[in-house]
Every structure is written in structure tokens, then in C-alpha cells.
Amino acid sequence: MHNGIIENFQQLKDELVAEGRRFDSDTDTEVVAQLLTSMLERQMTPEEAMGKAMGRLRGAFALVALFSGRHDILLGARRGSSLAVGYGDGAMYVGTDALALAPFTKRVSYLEDDDWVVLRADGCKVYQGHKEVAREIRQSGISGAMIGKGNHRHFMLKEIYEQPAVIGDTLHTYLDPATRAVSLPALPFDWNKVTRLTMTACGTACFAGQVAKYWFEKLARLPVEVEVASEFRYREPPLPEGGVCIAISQSARRLIP
């Protein structure tokens, strides 16, 4: 399982193809699997392979690997992307954050950049390079009920029905219902002097930015560009002086200027 981007995947793929390895896809995810397999075929253990692979991979990613013949362990690794370990009763869990682990456990520790972890049913060991390290176990206040689907068939439908409440909560932050006065936070720039607006987001948040583009251009007569965040980071487009960038968070529920 892989979340994020392996920046040097093409270099690694070329090396692995030169070794005689055959790829079934063009994804950077398969490069990780092929790299680990190549190391296993050189008689490394899964733990040794993950430790060595972390020295070869570049980018921002979170990984979880299950090895054929070694179903007693799970290996996880992170750099840039979030990865958390959950401590259950006779079981261990790994996920992106406490929300993902909430249905199973409230005892969570967060891995730090360049950590990799070996999970077994009775515990785990965390490493940086070849050195074992300790990570604090925290008690999460998030419960599984907070992220349940309720009576909805799936989470997307749940979020659609939540939109009025979410919009209301957002407006309530800035609108006094008694006086109908709007109080916006102070900004370090003057909207009247902004030359161009750039929005960056991924997935459905990016779609929200594309809708907002029409509003800004029609109502404020302000030129807007919408960029996919995963590409914007590496493309380094020219940004005009006096411009403003808005990063839209997951589920498009918060705007960060």
C-alpha cells in the first residue's frame, strides 16, 4: 500500500529493468514492490530490505508492505506523508492517522520522517536507518462513532448531506446572527491590489477550486489559475508579484490563504 510520490521512480525502474525485472504497470508504487522483491531475492530479510529501501527512495510517501510467507509481520515506512501505529488488545494496526485507527484503538503513536516500523500482533519496533528508536504512545480522543457512515450508504453521500451543517458552521465563524455583522480575519494583503489568484488542491478539493474560479472571475474580475497540488509542488510555475495562493484542504472544508 502506497500513499504519496516516489520522485526517483524512473531511475529505480531503469536499474531494476536492467536487472531483468519485468514491470506490469507504469506506476511508482510497483517500483517499490519490485525494489523490495529484488532485495529479498538477494537473501535479505524483509526487515533488511525495508531498511535498505528507505535509503534508496526519494519523495514524500507512506508505505505498508505485507510479504509472502511472512504473514506474521507488517512493515510500514514514511517520509513526508503521515503514518500512525495503533496499539490494540493482542493486535497492532497501521493507518494514515488517528481517524483511520479510531474504530480499532485509541492508543496511537505517530511515526516521524524516515521512520520505518515492524509490526507484530504483540507489538512493534520502530527504526531510523538501522537504529531502533522510541515513539510516544498517545491516547486519542477520537472515537469510531465520530467517523461512521451513520445511516448513509457511503461516506460521499454522508458528506453531501453534511454540507448545510458544514457551511453553517463556517459562516457562523464570521457572521454574528444577532447583528448580521460580518467579521473577517485580518489578511496580510489588500484584495484590491491582488493581480492573480492561484488555487492548489487535489481530488474533490480541486473540483471545488475550479468552481470557485468561476465565482472569483465573474464577481471579482480576478484572474484565477487552479493547480493540482501534487503537480504544483514540482512544476514550479511562475507566480506573479502581488498574487495570492489559496491551498484547499481535504474535503474542501477549509480555505487557507
Does 183 share its domain with 124? Answer: no
Domain that holds residue 194: 150-256
Q: Which of 146, 163, 189 is the last residue of a domain?
A: 146
Q: Which of 120, 146, 172 is the last residue of a domain?
A: 146
Does 55 share its domain with 92? Answer: yes
Count up the domains in the chain and report the number.
2
C-alpha cell belonging to residue 171: 459562516
Given a cut of 60, whether residue 42 has pLDDT beyond it is yes
Decide: 208 and 224 in contact? Cβ < 8 Å. Answer: no
**What is the separation of C-alpha 155 from the centre of its chain, rounded to a whole number of angstroms?**
18
Decide: 243 and 216 in contact? Cβ < 8 Å. Answer: no
**pTM value?**
0.62
Q: What is the CATH number of the domain that holds 86?
A: 3.60.20.10
Does 134 share its domain with 163? Answer: no
Counted residue by residue, the chain has a size of: 257
Does 126 share its domain with 57? Answer: yes
Q: What is the CATH number of the domain that holds 182?
A: 3.40.50.10490
Does 50 share its domain with 83? Answer: yes
pLDDT at 202: 87
Does 176 share its domain with 141? Answer: no
pLDDT at 155: 77
Q: Which long-range contacts (CB under 8 A, 24 or more apart) does 237-243 make?
A: 239/196, 239/198, 240/195, 240/196, 241/195, 242/193, 242/194, 242/195, 242/196, 243/194, 243/195, 243/196, 243/197, 243/198
Measured between alpha carbons, how far is 177 from 190 in angstroms, rounded to an integer?
27
Plot region of 135 (φ>0 → left; ψ -120 to 50 → alpha; else → beta): beta
Average pLDDT rounded to a whole number, residues 68-72: 91
State pLDDT tens for residues 118-158: 999 999 999 998 899 999 998 887 665 555 666 678 878 87
State pLDDT tens for residues 164-199: 777 777 777 787 766 778 887 888 888 889 999 999
C-alpha cell belonging to residue 185: 480575519
C-alpha cell belonging to residue 198: 492561484
Does 94 share its domain with 173? Answer: no
C-alpha cell belonging to residue 160: 453531501
Give the strands of the sheet with 131-133, arranged side by side. Answer: 2-6, 59-67, 70-79, 115-120, 123-128, 131-133
